[in-house]
Structure 1
Amino acid sequence: MAMPDRETFRGLTRQGNVIPVWIDLPAHGESPVSLFQRLDAGDTVFLLESAEGDGEWAAHSFIGVNPWLVLSARGGLVTITDAEGTRAVQANSLDSLHEILRAYVPIHFDGLPRFAGGAVGYFSYDTARLLEHLPEIAADEDAIPDALWMLPGEMVIFDNRAQRVMLMHLARVAVGDDPDTVYALAEDRLGKLHALITSPVSPKNSVGAPGAATLDFRANFTRADFELAVESVQEHIRAGDIFQMVLSQRFTVETDAEPFDVYQALRAINPSPYLYYLRFPEITIIGSSPELLLRLEGRRLTVRPIAGTRPRGATATEDRALEASLRADPKEIAEHVMLIDLGRNDVGRVAEIGSVRLEDRMVVERYSHVMHLVSSVTGTLAMGLDAIDAFRATFPAGTLTGAPKIRAMELIERFEPVRRGLYGGSVGYFSFNGDADLAIAIRSLSVRNGTVTFQAGAGIVYDSIPLREYEETLHKASALRRAIEVAHSGTVA
């Protein structure tokens, strides 16, 4: 039976205009991936997953289908597609998404997962141009949308621990709507979802034949040019212009591999706290980011800068030695301290006075292939502000720009040959209830018309060794490259 029942639903329509209606089922051996493959309908869908530091899956995975609204932005043009059609206006994408979210008054139910409806999508790094006046030097080569967001009409929420599945319809109630009619539609949509996930037909296997050609990965820097760029950045550091800057390079490759195969390979190779597969008509976004941009739960705002990396050791003894090396590395420590200060400044812009705290300082977090130095900065969001305001204050992350942030961004425009696009942007959700959870778009790629694009960077400081910084970008890009190779070969498990 659907929850809430029809009579309760009628009463709730007087309190809000978006009401989750759901049924709860046993998983019967399904996984988030197999459910996604069963429900793989339409060109605008998403899958959000999370692997915790110990390799275990986080509590819930989220699948979204049948969006009732999609927002796309490019430059100053925002396009909205919904039941009324498609319309384009000259607008700021942040303002437009803000306005859309504020139109909904959700009904809250105790016991539901932390995300139960809202907007899922991404902002590109170049959204920063809405927040700061930046020079226009780098080529706009990729030309992907600056923002793409969907509001799903239905979600499938997989409880990884209880092995249960929640099918959810987001019922919208407009003025004058008959509650019984709206509820009947919810029951109908849930029934169709239920039929799809319980069908005896095996889920579609997207893995195709091996790719016809050898992959040709291309970078937009040669090693020599990257090292020269590092040295040029260091001249600005020595002159006192900046303290640190993240310099990145872009990789592209053509493949006929299915994008979802790339996602499956990536989640196996590089499980991370933020795993995402977002398919839009224009582009598919795939990622396994380890790093939070911001999380807002109630009024509690959190940012978690990551700076400092070592590979995992082959043995426990080697692992401990690598941790000790990381903790004792003056370059890594100095870079991390600068980014803690940036995080404090960003949170302080929107937090209540006196509420900003450093809760964790340079904790070593271990993942499947690497360990990182991580700190947590928290604050209480000031009254009158919301998640979009918090985003404006913290975006882009200092860990992807450098310090001071604005001057570093100006120099990025000068030293990187093309605009960043997805890299250094943000992927995640803004919930109808006001919460938000957004990852930094690193270890991420975009797929469009068979071309895969991804990027990786290194933090340049006073005593950086140019060759090592170049090699760091290759190391950070290696999991993405391997995932593409596996998918292209047709060997996804």
Structure 2
Amino acid sequence: MSPGADGRESEPLPARDATAFPRRERLGLRIDPERVFELLLAGERHAFWLDAGIRAETGRSLLGAASPVRPSYLMHGDQLWTLRGATPVPCDGELTDVLRRWRLATVPSAPEDDPADTSPLGWVGWFGYEFGARRLGIEAEASAYPDAVMLAADRVIAIDHHTNETSLWFVDDADGREWAANTSAALRAAADEPTPHVVGVDAGARRGTGPVRWRHSDGEYLSMIAACQDSIRAGDAYLLCLTNTATVATSAEPLEVYRALRRASRARHGAYLRAGDVTVLSASPELFLNIAGGVAVTRPVKGTRPRGALPADDARLRAQLAEDEKERAENLMIVDLMRNDLGRVARVGGVSVTELLTVETHAHVHQLVSTVRAELADGLDVLDVLGASFPAGSMTGAPKLSAMSVLHELERGPRGVYSGCLGRLGLDGTAELAMVIRTIVMCDGEATIGSGGGITALSVPDQELAEVKLKAAALLHALGVTSD
């Protein structure tokens, strides 16, 4: 074994004290994940849908509910809670410790470029921004939402969009086999029925019932940008990822909002995560961490332009982004920060940049993306990588600790789930986590949306403000409201 990022001895998953044994049942069915969720999971109190996107041709969609026989967990502040029943129950311990207790029997991990046969069993949920800030010793505001939620996923419906194959993955015990038999029968019955006609979701039916309330007004946000640039000139940071939060009252059903959001965005890292009264709806385009075969990959996104209404305008905006000095510098700063973070858990010489300053086009925006790859040192696991790299530099700025301290003073409120990460931690040592951006959090008749951008010495304040509004616009539209 090798020392982990926090100095303790650790070993990779799978571990010698494995307590879960996976089984896979291939169904030979082609079925839409939205239909699966609505049929089997829409009524579950704790449920997940990690969504590869509408009409996806690659990747996997993973669907399931929190295990009825193994505890799930949430962290709020310094208190750990179990989610085994309808009401959370406080318990002792640290979240990272309890996550390490459930281990998977040794199975071959799929190579990093072919994850289809990798077991998805493990934990599904999110780590919020304040969860990471507190572990770095940065002062953090109390969030209204859990700082972290990890649902025990011991039975998962996996849909491979490349092969159109549906599989059931489950822990091979009596409970798991009973679930597989019942789920297989339900899915086979649904597959025999005519496929329902998919229609758009009417914005009016989503019923945003109040005005959009921003934590910071436009004038305040412009003043915060000026303060960021003062801090940069003073040498406190060279990039600050400044954010704002929009809140709107709504009587909409979260699933209807997510259906609208996924039709508009077609994001590669979509998610519908429900933990009791809190539902997270994400159309994230950004991969934070993919871990498989002893390799960690991150793809920071920095640099944004809107889509053009006409092909010529769209091409002009794409070229403008690719050539923009400020956007390129911002992306390079985050690449350097992520190289440094992953270097703490990589073997010597094992960090490389495999893609630099590539423009990717999404439904509403063009974005500038790079890829950093790290071959992990022996003896380190997924949680070691998280400890070294979270919160992600693309949501903090650089240098990370100084940037986060400056932002805490300026933003004057919690980010909550926004700016964190969401996805799965596999019991076999694999992981796939997306950045929590382009995301709506719904709870108790309110929806919140975080939005922000990277501030550098070259930033033009009015353009930065416009970028914040652009990033939030599609999410507000999914709620059936608009904002100035």
TM norm structure 1 = 0.85
Partner of 1:88: 90
| CA-CA distance at 1:163 after TM superposition | 2.8
Secondary structure of the 1:471 match is: helix
Q: Tell me the distance in 2 between the aligned counterparts of 1:213 and 1:359.
A: 43
Partner of 2:183: 193
Percent identity (aligned):
31
Q: Is the 8 A contact 2:109 2:293 kept in 1?
A: no
State yes or no: 1:120 paired with 2:124. Answer: yes
- The superposition leaves residues 129-170 of structure 1 with CA deviations (integer Å, 9 ceiling, x where unpaired) of 34212135x5x3x42111111112321112223333212322
- The superposition leaves residues 29-69 of structure 1 with CA deviations (integer Å, 9 ceiling, x where unpaired) of x31000111102421111011249xx844232110125132
Q: Tell me the distance in 1 between the aligned counterparts of 2:208 and 2:104.
A: 49
Equivalent runs, 1:207-226 vs 2, <5 Å: 210=205, 214-226=209-221
Give, as a single letter, the amino acid of the residue that structure 2 aligns with 1:193: T
Equivalent runs, 1:210-359 vs 2, <5 Å: 210=205, 214-359=209-354
State yes or no: 1:390 paired with 2:385. Answer: yes
How many corresponding residue pairs? 454
Partner of 1:34: 35
State yes or no: 1:474 paired with 2:432. Answer: no
Partner of 2:151: 150
Partner of 2:4: none
Backbone CA RMSD of aligned residues: 2.8
Give, as a single letter, the amino acid of the residue that structure 2 aligns with 1:335: E
Q: Tell me the distance in 2 between the aligned counterparts of 1:197 and 1:383.
A: 41
Describe the shift of the 1:202–1:91 C-alpha distance in structure 2 as closer, same or farther (beyond 3 A): farther
Secondary structure of the 2:64 match is: strand
Partner of 1:79: 81
Q: Tell me the distance in 1 between the aligned counterparts of 2:66 and 2:400.
A: 39
| CA-CA distance at 1:82 after TM superposition | 4.1
- The superposition leaves residues 409-432 of structure 1 with CA deviations (integer Å, 9 ceiling, x where unpaired) of 001110002111111111011101
Give, as a single letter, the amino acid of the residue that structure 2 aligns with 1:156: I
Q: Is the 8 A contact 1:294 1:437 kept in 2?
A: yes
Q: Tell me the distance in 2 between the aligned counterparts of 1:19 and 1:104.
A: 6
1:131 to 131, 135, 143: 135
Q: Is the 8 A contact 2:337 2:393 kept in 1?
A: yes
Give, as a single letter, the amino acid of the residue that structure 1 aligns with 2:38: Q
Q: Tell me the distance in 2 between the aligned counterparts of 1:317 and 1:434.
A: 46
Q: Tell me the distance in 1 between the aligned counterparts of 2:251 and 2:128.
A: 25
Q: Tell me the distance in 1 between the aligned counterparts of 2:356 and 2:206.
A: 46
Secondary structure of the 1:479 match is: helix
Moved more, 429-438 or 213-222: 213-222
Q: Is the 8 A contact 2:242 2:407 kept in 1?
A: yes
State yes or no: 1:171 paired with 2:175. Answer: no
TM norm structure 2 = 0.87
Q: Tell me the distance in 1 between the aligned counterparts of 2:77 and 2:48.
A: 24
- The superposition leaves residues 205-256 of structure 1 with CA deviations (integer Å, 9 ceiling, x where unpaired) of 9989836674421111111111111111111111111111011110111111
Secondary structure of the 2:326 match is: helix
Moved more, 435-444 or 314-323: 314-323
| CA-CA distance at 1:15 after TM superposition | 10
- The superposition leaves residues 389-427 of structure 1 with CA deviations (integer Å, 9 ceiling, x where unpaired) of 001111111111111110110011100021111111110
Q: Tell me the distance in 2 between the aligned counterparts of 1:462 and 1:348.
A: 27
Secondary structure of the 1:353 match is: strand
Higher CA-based Rg = 1
State yes or no: 1:43 paired with 2:33. Answer: no
Describe the shift of the 1:319–1:15 C-alpha distance in structure 2 as closer, same or farther (beyond 3 A): same
| CA-CA distance at 1:192 after TM superposition | 1.2
State yes or no: 1:447 paired with 2:442. Answer: yes
Equivalent runs, 1:427-466 vs 2, <5 Å: 427-466=422-461
Partner of 2:59: 59
Q: Tell me the distance in 2 between the aligned counterparts of 1:465 and 1:383.
A: 45
Q: Tell me the distance in 1 between the aligned counterparts of 2:39 and 2:265.
A: 24
Q: Is the 8 A contact 2:208 2:249 kept in 1?
A: no
Moved more, 189-198 or 149-158: 189-198
Give, as a single letter, the amino acid of the residue that structure 2 aligns with 1:58: T
Partner of 1:411: 406
| CA-CA distance at 1:86 after TM superposition | 6.8
Q: Tell me the distance in 1 between the aligned counterparts of 2:294 and 2:208.
A: 52
Secondary structure of the 2:72 match is: strand
Secondary structure of the 2:356 match is: strand
Q: Tell me the distance in 2 between the aligned counterparts of 1:127 and 1:120.
A: 16
Q: Is the 8 A contact 2:206 2:479 kept in 1?
A: no
Describe the shift of the 1:109–1:249 C-alpha distance in structure 2 as closer, same or farther (beyond 3 A): closer
- The superposition leaves residues 366-400 of structure 1 with CA deviations (integer Å, 9 ceiling, x where unpaired) of 22222211111111111111110001111111111
Describe the shift of the 1:341–1:309 C-alpha distance in structure 2 as closer, same or farther (beyond 3 A): same
Secondary structure of the 2:348 match is: coil
Give, as a single letter, the amino acid of the residue that structure 2 aligns with 1:127: F
Q: Tell me the distance in 2 between the aligned counterparts of 1:257 and 1:428.
A: 24
Q: Tell me the distance in 1 between the aligned counterparts of 2:211 and 2:134.
A: 35
Gaps of 5+ in 1: 1-13, 173-181, 488-493
Secondary structure of the 2:21 match is: strand
Partner of 1:10: none
Q: Is the 8 A contact 1:285 1:445 kept in 2?
A: yes
Partner of 1:422: 417
- The superposition leaves residues 305-344 of structure 1 with CA deviations (integer Å, 9 ceiling, x where unpaired) of 1111122334444333222211221111111111111011
Q: Is the 8 A contact 1:106 1:432 kept in 2?
A: no
Describe the shift of the 1:33–1:356 C-alpha distance in structure 2 as closer, same or farther (beyond 3 A): same
- The superposition leaves residues 111-135 of structure 1 with CA deviations (integer Å, 9 ceiling, x where unpaired) of 9633420100001000123421213
Q: Is the 8 A contact 1:275 1:287 kept in 2?
A: yes
Partner of 1:9: none
Q: Is the 8 A contact 2:425 2:432 kept in 1?
A: yes
Q: Is the 8 A contact 1:215 1:485 kept in 2?
A: no
Partner of 1:162: 163
